[in-house]
Amino acid sequence: MSDIDPRTLANGDLEAEVATLSAQLDVAEHRLLALTGELDGRQRQRDPGLPSLAAWLSWRVGLGPVAAREKVRGVQLLPDHRRTRLKTAPVLDVRMAEVGV
């Protein structure tokens, strides 16, 4: 629906579009955290001049430095069993079904 001017949408259609986009953002954020956790767990050598995963995230994907640190910090605070669950959280199965993923 993204090619349709939102000013022309009926309220119900506009609400549905907002709900769909919100679900897609939730799914994408979940995936980003899962992948960030995997990268952090690997503790691979970073590129020269990039001392941390947060610095790499900031440089590579354009996150602000504070936002990048918070992503890494959030994943690091999860116990290992929660990191595993993050990859398969059932609540996101519902969200993904809502958006047809």
- Residue ranges of alpha helices (H) inside the chain are 11-42, 53-61, 65-77, 80-87, 90-99
Number of domains into which the chain is organized: 1
pTM: 0.68
For residue 13, being part of any structural domain is answered with yes
In this prediction, residue 92 carries a pLDDT of 56
For residue 52, being part of any structural domain is answered with yes
For residue 10, being part of any structural domain is answered with yes
Structural domain that includes position 40: 6-99
In this prediction, residue 87 carries a pLDDT of 57
In this prediction, residue 41 carries a pLDDT of 84
In this prediction, residue 46 carries a pLDDT of 65
For residue 1, being part of any structural domain is answered with no
Q: Measured between alpha carbons, how far is 19 from 54 in angstroms, rounded to an integer?
A: 30
- pLDDT per residue as tens digits for the range 24-82: 999 999 889 888 988 888 876 566 778 899 999 999 999 999 999 999 999 988 776 55
In this prediction, residue 14 carries a pLDDT of 92
